[in-house]
Chains A and B, each alone.
Chain A
Amino acid sequence: MDDIVRSAPSRSWVDAANGTVEREAFVGEDVFRLELDRIFHRLWIFLAHDSEIPDRGDYVVRTMGRVPVIVVRGSDGEVRVLLNSCRHRGTKLCRGEAGNARNFVCRYHGWSYAIDGGLITTSYDEHLPPGMDKADWGLVPAPRVETYRGLIFAAWDPGVPELRDYLGDMAWYLDALFWRTPEGMEALAPPHRWRTRANWKIGALNFIGDSQHVRTTHAGPIALDKVRSEKDGFYVQGGESFQVVTDEGHGCTLTYLAPGMPERNYLTHPPGLRGAYADTLSADQLAMLRHLRVMVGNVFPNFSFIESQVALGEKAVIIRQWQPLSGTEMEVLSWVLAEREAAAGYKDRALKHGFHNFGAAGVFEQDDLELWASATQASDNPIARRFPYSFHSSLPFDHAPMENAKGPGRAFQPSNTEVAQFAFMRRWDAAMRPLA
């Protein structure tokens, strides 16, 4: 790993002037190793939702780049992120995906650790030299762990900025999805998990602002949902739509419902909660939510989110982690969330609806994945690598943000350009440069 970092190219994969990106960035194993070093083992990485580990000792096992970690709620109620590897010979402390522990006992030789990571005993403490300080031999904690609106992030570089500062203007949009009631959101089930033979950045790009793919890739669900919605008197006609780009390469795409439809078609969130929204959100955020048909976006590097309403009353908030496994493979984690205060019946419907569209067998998901895998496979050869990907449809637009946008960040119209995608790629390219 060190060799690669030292020989890391100061070259660029992104041609900002011409709107193209080298395919190598989407298939190369060297690029992937550099991404681990520069991005996944350094920057803020989303790991879990607070509600997955409500009680002391609750934990989930997640991955940051190649680093396996335990995300655990300590006895003080704090969330910690610990390297899931015994300090003695490296054995994993937690070999399942989730559970509850009073402490972490290594099954190999019996070292045991408190849930805050501190080493309790090696089982053979009497054989240790007096100079060994057990305080130095606890489970390795990620130096930075912060939670924003229930979203738990960690970073291995102690020098990263505060999470709230890193999220910047994107926080305003995240608030509208993840903290719109006083209690916040709740993960309704364990995340779906699946592997796919595609580069992780395709997922991030797809969510940050890829309106162009919707009607082609998802011809199936769109046609079928239209028929169904018409029967319900719900016209899913899109209205105004725009992309938002913020610092650090975060971004999202918002699409409103067309005006002039029956009143009940707007703000189809549970009536019981609408009052609560007003307690938490600003008037601008409420106005945005009221007409929203889809909000979909990405926090750099690999945390995506979507709230989508495809038919009347079918809404779900979904979050994603695009977990890279190699240059050409990733694991996807996908959660469905709802307001904690929502009725059990609503949560049940949100979960089903969320999975139906965007889960491991989602009717949207299945078509995306097939195409992403084929893109990765077809690009993974030297001839294809001579021909960069096109991000041209960002160029005529990305110097002209809208004047009176509805929220913070730089907003762009129309929404079906590639402005946000290219902003993501530029941020990525900057992150990949050798550190100053």
Chain B
Amino acid sequence: MNDVTSIANGDPWVDTANGTVSREIFVSEDVFCLELDRIFHRLWIFLAHETEIPNRGDYVVRTMGRVPVIVVREASGEVRVLLNSCRHRGTKLCRGEAGNARHFVCPYHGWSYALDGGLISTSYDEHLPADMDKADWGLVPAPKVESYKGLVFAAWDPGVSQLRDYLGDIAWYLDTLFWRTPGGMEVLAPPHRWRARANWKIGSLNFIGDGQHVATTHAGPSTLNRLHSKKAGFFVRGGESFQVVTDEGHGCTLTYLAPGMPEGNYLTHPPALRDAYAEVLSARQISMMHHLRVMVGNVFPNLSFIENQVALGEKAVLIRQWQPISGTETEVLSWVLAEREASAEYKDRALKHGFHNFGAGGVFEQDDLELWASATQASDNPIAQRFPFSFHSSLPFDSAPIENARGPGRAYKPSNTEVAQLAFMRRWDAAMQPGD
């Protein structure tokens, strides 16, 4: 791993002056190893939503880079993130994806650990040397675990900043998706999971601000939804739209509904919840939500989110983890959420609607994945790698944020430039530098 680090000092991967990014970083195994080291085994990584593990002993099994972890609610109610590997000979404590445990008993030789990771017994404690301190041999905990508005993150570098500080200005936007009622959001089903033969960063870039691909890639659902919406008297005409970039390479893109449409087309959230929003959100946040058609974004490195209204009353909040498997493969986890206070019937529709568009069989998803895989495959050769990717359409815009933006962060118009994407790449490049 250490040897690989030196390549970070070679050619620039991200050429800010010219608005290009090397293809190598979207396919190379060396770059991937360095990403593990500098990003996934170090920085804040999203892992789960609190509502996936509501009760003591509830756990889900997730991955941070190549590190398998258990995300568990321990006896005190705290969430812990533990390396899913026995300290004795490495066996996985949890071999399923989710469950509930009173403690973790290794199925190989029977070492048992409390939910907080502490070693209870090796089953043969009488054979241990006197100077072995069992306190040193608990399940390895991630040194940093924090939740923000129900989103559980962990980091392996004990020196990372507080999660709230790391999120910075993007928190204002996350609030409107993940904590807009007093009860917060709830995951409606286990995450969809699928593999894609594409580099993980393509997913992050696509969500942080890729207004350019919608009309082309999603010609199918766009056309069909328009017909569908017209029938329902819901004109999905986009209005004002902009991108937001915040520190740490987070960002999002917001698109409003065009003004002048029937009032019923705006703020199509469940009427019963609208008052609850006012209890929790600021007036600025509520006015933003009132007209919102789509908010889509990414928290560096690999947590994406989207709320999207494609037809009347069809809304869903989705979150994504782009879990890197190699330089050229990604496992995608995709959750659908709704307000806890929403009616069962609303939740049911949100779930179906969310998956219809963005699940493992999503009508938007399927076209994206096909193209992302082909981009990765076509770039995975030395000839292609002589020719960097173009991020030119960020350059004329990214030094001119708009003046009176509706929320924090630096906002840019129009939304269909690549300002947020290049900001992501710059943050990525900085993270990959040795001293970062």
Contact = CB atoms under 8 A, between A and B. Distances in A.
Contacts of B127: 392-393, 396-397, 414, 416-418
Given A382-B36, A382-B37, A397-B127, A390 B88 contact: yes
Contacts of B109: 210, 212-213, 216-217
Contacts of B130: 396
- In this complex, which of A217, A372, A378 has the most chain B Cβ atoms within 10 angstroms of its Cβ? A378
Given A375-B108, A378-B91, A378-B92, A396 B140 contact: no
B123 A216 contact: yes
Nearest to B122: A393
B95 A395 contact: no
A390 B88 CA distance: 5
B165 to A, nearest CB: 24
Contact of A390 (B41, B87, B92, B108): B87
Interface residues of A, number: 39
Nearest to B137: A390
Contacts of B105: 216
Contact of A381 (B66, B91, B124, B137): B66
Interface string A196-214: 0000001001000010110
Interface in B118-176: 122-124, 127-130, 132, 137, 140, 156
B108 A384 contact: no
A390 B129 CA distance: 11
B396 interface: no
A389 interface: yes
B68 interface: yes
Contact of A212 (B41, B123, B132, B140): B123
A375 B67 contact: no
A382 to B, nearest CB: 6
Contacts of A386: 140
If over half of A's interface residues share one DSSP class (helix, strand or loop), that class is named, otherwise mixed; here it is: helix
Interface in B70-121: 83-92, 95, 105-110
Nearest to A374: B92
B354 interface: no
Interface string A360-389: 000000010011101111111111101101
B257 to A, nearest CB: 46
A19 interface: yes
Nearest to A396: B129
Nearest to A397: B127
B128 A393 contact: yes
Contacts of A395: 129, 132
Contacts of B107: 216-217, 367, 371
Contact of B90 (A367, A378, A392): A378
Given A216-B110, A393-B122, A396-B127, A384 B83 contact: yes
B92 A377 contact: yes
A215 B110 CA distance: 9
B65 interface: yes
A202 to B, nearest CB: 7
B83 A417 contact: no
Given A393-B124, A395-B129, A417-B127, A384 B110 contact: no
B108 A389 contact: no
B212 to A, nearest CB: 36
B124 A417 contact: yes
Contacts of B124: 212, 393, 416-417
B1 interface: yes
B275 to A, nearest CB: 46
A414 B106 CA distance: 22
B158 to A, nearest CB: 12
**A210, A213, A397: which has the most chain B beta carbons within 10 Å?**
A213
A73 interface: no
B14 to A, nearest CB: 25
A210 B127 CA distance: 13
Nearest to B85: A378
B176 to A, nearest CB: 34
Given A216-B108, A216-B123, A384 B90 contact: yes
A392 B129 contact: yes
Nearest to B68: A378
A205 B66 CA distance: 26
**Looking at chain B, what size class is its interface with the partner chain?**
35 or more
Interface in A141-155: none
B100 to A, nearest CB: 20
Nearest to B69: A383
B91 A374 contact: yes
B358 to A, nearest CB: 29
Interface in B203-241: none
A33 interface: no
B371 to A, nearest CB: 30
Given A216-B107, A217-B108, A383-B140, A378 B84 contact: yes
Interface string A135-170: 000000000000000000000000000000000000
A374 B106 CA distance: 11
Most buried by B among A210, A382, A395, A416: A382
Contacts of A370: 95
Given A216-B110, A381-B67, A384-B67, A375 B140 contact: no
Contact of B41 (A377, A382, A416): A382
Contacts of B129: 19, 392, 395-396
Nearest to B65: A381
Q: Which of B84, B91, B124, B130 has the most chain A CB atoms inside 10 A of its CB?
A: B91
Contacts of A379: 85, 90
Interface in A12-50: 19, 23, 26
Contacts of A23: 90
B55 to A, nearest CB: 25
A396 B90 contact: no
Nearest to A390: B88
A416 B128 CA distance: 11
B128 A396 contact: yes
* Most chain A Cβ neighbours within 10 Å, of B37, B127, B140: B127
Report which residue of A217, A386, A392 has the largest number of chain B beta carbons within 10 angstroms of its beta carbon.
A392
Nearest to B64: A383
Contacts of A392: 127-129, 132
A201 B84 CA distance: 21
B107 to A, nearest CB: 6
A374 B140 contact: no
Nearest to B110: A216
18 contacts: A213-B109, A217-B107, A371-B107, A375-B91, A377-B68, A378-B83, A381-B41, A381-B66, A382-B66, A383-B83, A384-B67, A387-B83, A387-B87, A389-B90, A392-B129, A396-B128, A416-B127, A417-B124
Interface of B: 1, 36-37, 41, 65-68, 83-92, 95, 105-110, 122-124, 127-130, 132, 137, 140, 156
Given A378-B92, A390-B89, 13 more contacts: A26-B90, A205-B89, A216-B109, A370-B95, A371-B91, A372-B91, A374-B90, A374-B92, A384-B140, A387-B87, A387-B140, A389-B88, A396-B129
A-B interface, 3 closest residue pairs, ranked by CB to CB distance from nearest: A378-B85, A375-B90, A381-B66
